[in-house]
Structure 1
Amino acid sequence: MKLNKISIFLGVLMLLSSCNKNPFTGKKTLALVPNSNVLATSFQQYDQFLQENNVIRGTSESQMVKSVGQKIATASERWLNANGYEGYLENYKWEYNLVKDEAVNAWCMPGGKIVVYTGILPITQDEAGLAVVMGHEVAHALANHGQQRMSAGQLQQLGAVVGNVALEDENQEIFNTAYGVGSQVGVMLPFSRSHETEADKIGLTLMAIAGYDPDEAAKLWQRMKANSGGGAPSELLSTHPSNDTRINNLQAWSDEAKAEAKKFGVTSFIK
């Protein structure tokens, strides 16, 4: 029991002493993994990914990805500078690439390394639709969601170690099964869904400041819902909010995003 108490104390101490403040939400966020390590790993993995995949260059679609991405990046910097976070993007190395892949997907690694798959373009349809996706993905990077997920994973592992040390051998298997399911469904999945919701809201603001109509975000997710054919898992068991939840949220937040964009002199939007 003594070792158990020491482990719990160290875990709590690590948690309390290793937090960053999210400039977009004002929340304290997990930061057990140094940001320098996160960025170094991100840049290395991104370069490797590009080497191993078919990067589309010199087309109108690839140019659109770069153009929209740069507008979102500029909007990010404008918002951060205006809200007292000058230098927040100092270690970012923005890069925007279109990759030939039928997957309906896009992502942004920590440090501004973005990939859009060709498979999502029929659903985004145009610049505004693409801005919804890229604003969302950039928001993940700006809010340090990658660092938080890595940190949460470490805490999840710490909890498993503490539990196994505290229990006798015959109870460890029961604990591991219950802990695995409970920590995943009760902690990790809600944690992931909260990140997706944060990225939706932050991304909506960024696309509006970049000059794209935030009303297009809900329309994009209506098309995503139609494309999924209703086969999405239960929200409770998913890493993402349901399509309906996202659509409702985006519709509710659109006017707020327009009001934020107005502070930067943006009053008309690309649809």
Structure 2
Amino acid sequence: MQTVNRYGIAALYAALIVLGGCATSPLGRTQLVFFPDSEMNRMGVLAFQDIRARTPLEEDPVIRSYVQCVAAAMLQRPGGNAGVSTWEVRVFRQDQTNAFALPGRKIGVYTGMLKVTENQDQLAAVIGHEIAHVQARHANERVSTGYLAQSGSQLIAAMAGGSAQTRSNVMAMLGVGTQVGILLPFGRAQESEADLIGLDLMAKAGFDPWQSIRLWQNMGANTGSKPPEFLSTHPASETRIRQLRQRMPEAIKLYEQARAAGHRPACD
């Protein structure tokens, strides 16, 4: 009887993977996503609140206005995400070369990133890359993968014969794990995908897509012996630049269309 239960639960678990987690990214890649957007938004908001509690905000109004201007142009582009008024955009006063966007419409840029981005177009490339992660549901994909890798056996054991309290404890543990997981690094395939989606997003907003290549050249020149956190799991600079160059003709068309339609950001 125990054998039947064990195999039955394993089969059920496999079915959940197949039936409940299939999705396709904006570039056509098959994804494993288990969580509804409402749950991802909740986790994103909690993660953002935690970051805000631990990290000082930039008080310089000029710096804040500059970042807000670039973010607004990106979010108000054609086909954008309902405008900047529905997003919370914050500048964190910390000398790390990093930025992020989270489900729940949260964007954070660290002041260290502003030392590497030479102009509004390069900052737009960074913000576009981060928005692309949200648009492509990369956080959901990452949390879902971690859910399987770390919790599958415990979930099966609890559901196979554990008490109600045991099952409750397992589910509580999974909730904590997913909230932490939303802030873990993305894989390189996801990073490459965000590069290309982000390139299109900045072009649609009227930012010069060629500056994305200049940005990654700057990143490579400023890494020294220790890569910045923003690049820790990203593809090598040469690989990323090659991929961006291959995508550039399409991005230039989008850029020219945006400029012709009057999308000409002026944040510098």
Give yes or no for TM over 0.5: yes
Q: Shift of the alpha carbon at 1:241?
A: 1.2
Q: Shift of the alpha carbon at 1:157?
A: 2.3
Q: Which residue of 2 is the match for residue 168 of structure 1? A: none
Are the structure 2 counterparts of residues 51 and 116 from structure 1 closer, same or farther at C-alpha, using a change threshold of 3 Å? same
Q: Shift of the alpha carbon at 1:27?
A: 3.9
Are the structure 2 counterparts of residues 190 and 16 from structure 1 closer, same or farther at C-alpha, using a change threshold of 3 Å? farther
Q: Shift of the alpha carbon at 1:152?
A: 0.6
Q: Which residue of 1 is the match for residue 48 of structure 2? A: 46
- Is the deviation greater in 63-72 or in 149-158? 149-158
Q: Shift of the alpha carbon at 1:97?
A: 0.9
8 Å CA contact 2:207–2:255 kept in 1: the answer is no
Secondary structure of the residue aligned to 1:241 is: coil
Q: Which residue of 1 is the match for residue 61 of structure 2? A: 59
Are the structure 2 counterparts of residues 190 and 3 from structure 1 closer, same or farther at C-alpha, using a change threshold of 3 Å? farther
Q: Shift of the alpha carbon at 1:263?
A: 4.9
8 Å CA contact 2:94–2:112 kept in 1: the answer is yes
- Is the deviation greater in 25-34 or in 203-212? 25-34
2:240 paired residue among 243, 246, 255: 246
Alignment deviations for residues 144-168 of structure 1 (CA, whole Å, 9 cap, x no partner) = 111111101011125555999xxxx
The gaps in structure 2 that reach 5 residues or longer are 158-183
Give the residue type in structure 2 aligned to 1:68: V
Q: Which residue of 2 is the match for residue 200 of structure 1? A: 195
Q: Which residue of 2 is the match for residue 222 of structure 1? A: 217
Are the structure 2 counterparts of residues 266 and 58 from structure 1 closer, same or farther at C-alpha, using a change threshold of 3 Å? farther
Are the structure 2 counterparts of residues 190 and 68 from structure 1 closer, same or farther at C-alpha, using a change threshold of 3 Å? closer
Q: Which residue of 1 is the match for residue 79 of structure 2? A: 79
- Is the deviation greater in 40-49 or in 21-30? 21-30
Secondary structure of the residue aligned to 1:246 is: helix
Alignment deviations for residues 64-102 of structure 1 (CA, whole Å, 9 cap, x no partner) = 111111111122xx236xxxxxxx769x94111111001
CA distance in 1, matches of 2:101, 2:151: 28
1:109 paired residue among 88, 102, 106: 102
CA distance in 2, matches of 1:116, 1:150: 22
CA distance in 1, matches of 2:226, 2:48: 30
CA distance in 2, matches of 1:263, 1:247: 23
Establish whether residue 132 from structure 1 lines up as the match of residue 125 from structure 2.
Answer: yes
8 Å CA contact 2:138–2:186 kept in 1: the answer is no
% identical aligned pairs: 31
Q: Shift of the alpha carbon at 1:120?
A: 1.1
Higher RCO (C-alpha 8 Å, min separation 6): 2
Q: Shift of the alpha carbon at 1:7?
A: 4.3
- The Cα RMSD (Å) is 3.3
The gaps in structure 1 that reach 5 residues or longer are 81-87, 165-188
After the TM superposition, list the runs of 4 or more consecutive aligned residues in structure 1 that deviate by more than 6 angstroms: 267-271
CA distance in 2, matches of 1:232, 1:98: 21
2:11 paired residue among 2, 9, 18: 9
Aligned length: 234
Q: Which residue of 2 is the match for residue 173 of structure 1? A: none
CA distance in 2, matches of 1:107, 1:205: 18
Q: Which residue of 2 is the match for residue 182 of structure 1? A: none
Establish whether residue 212 from structure 1 lines up as the match of residue 214 from structure 2.
Answer: no
Give the residue type in structure 2 aligned to 1:244: E
CA distance in 1, matches of 2:76, 2:24: 19
TM-score, with structure 1 as normaliser: 0.74
Are the structure 2 counterparts of residues 211 and 227 from structure 1 closer, same or farther at C-alpha, using a change threshold of 3 Å? same
